[in-house]
Every structure is written in structure tokens, then in C-alpha cells.
Structure 1
């Protein structure tokens, strides 16, 4: 019986983003209690922020989690594929470049 929350198993395919790749956040990301030193609900990343993928891991043997370094904020946050968009290249990030073409999404 399906409960409607099932998602594709991402790890059956290669990761969409690779270490060193420049990415942009497509959603606001708040601390869900797993980020140390920040209050629960505190915004960690804003939609449109630019960063670089530092590492790729997995979660629940189903999803890729990308450790993204947000240069302007000085933090590294684990992000899901749907929360990122590739900017290509490895040059210095500029937030204004990210804002173009970012889809509206629900804040977490």
C-alpha cells in the first residue's frame, strides 16, 4: 500500500553535483535541529545563495546529501538535490547570479 510519500531512489543514478561544482540554493533552508550552534528554525541558507559542493554522501541508502560550503555565510550545510541548482564552473560565487531563474519553492 502506497502512502504517497515515496520518492525515487536517487543513488541508483550518479550524483547530479560533484565536489568543486558551483551551486545555488533553490529554497530557504532553516535549521531543523541537526545543525549545531544555531537555534532550531534559524535560517541557514537563503534562496539564491551561491556555494560550492565539498563532498557527496548518502542518507537512508536512498538520497544523495551534498555538503555545500556557503562562502558568504561561512558555513557548510547538508543539502538535498532538489534544494540545489548548478551554476557550473568553479569561479567566485556571486549571489546576484544565482537569483536569476530560481524557482519559487516552499521554505523549509
Structure 2
């Protein structure tokens, strides 16, 4: 049972009520920093609502990018070595994260290299 005096944290609709931008702000593998603490809003069943899930200024890496209700982008972030957190992987919104490095799309870089190689190879004919 939930304590009636428990403050419900609404990270989903609180800071933003509309659809997220079409393009994701962060990419898979990118290093990010948490700019505000993450508390359990009820979506994590193994801790009470209001439990600190990840402290502010924690450093992690984007593991995957998904959607909630088809309009809210959620980043699965893997935080390493944070002893005071009950979990290592937390779902975060864009407004809760800050990039610690520029994103490099390694797949796109490889495809570009292959395109240039083919142009060089086929232009000799």
C-alpha cells in the first residue's frame, strides 16, 4: 500500500506534454550525464515510489532508444559504478540528460567509407 503522504513524481507528463521531436537528441553508445536525479515514479516495481533510482551528475551510456505511448522518447541509459543506486540501467527523458561527447554514428561512418571506396574502385575503369 502507498503512503497517502507520498509525493507522486510525474517525469512523463510533467516537463513536457506533447510529442517529442522527430529526431533523437542522443544516439546509442553516446556518453551522457544525468542533470537531475531520477526517482521511482511507480514504473519500477521493486522499490517504493519516490526511491532514488539514480543521483544527479551520474555518467552513463545510451543503451537503446525507445518510445512510451508512441509519443514520448525514452533512453535506456546504462550507468556504471554508481554505488548508491539500486539499479544500473534507467529509462531517461531528453530533458534529464546532457551529452558528454559528440555522437558518432559508426554505421553511417562505415557506409560512407564503403561508398568512397567503391567510387575510387569503379572510377578506374
Same fold by TM (over 0.5)? yes
For 2:92, what is the secondary structure of its paired residue? strand
Q: TM-score, normalised by structure 2?
A: 0.60
For residues 9-55 of structure 1, what are the alpha-carbon distances to aligned partners after superposition, in whole Å with 9 as ceiling and x for unaligned? 21x42111111000000111111121132232110111111000000
Equivalent pairs counted in the alignment come to: 85
Quick one: which of 62, 80, 94 aligns to 1:81? 94
Segments of 5+ residues of structure 1 without an aligned counterpart are 91-108
- In 2, the alpha carbon distance for the partners of 1:44 and 1:56 equals 19
Structure 1 vs Structure 2 CA RMSD: 2.1
TM-score under structure 1 normalisation? 0.69
Distance 1:8 1:40, change over 3 A: closer
* Higher alpha-carbon Rg: 2
Of structures 1 and 2, the one with the larger relative CO (CA 8 A, separation 6+) is 1
Higher strand share: 1
More helix by share: 2
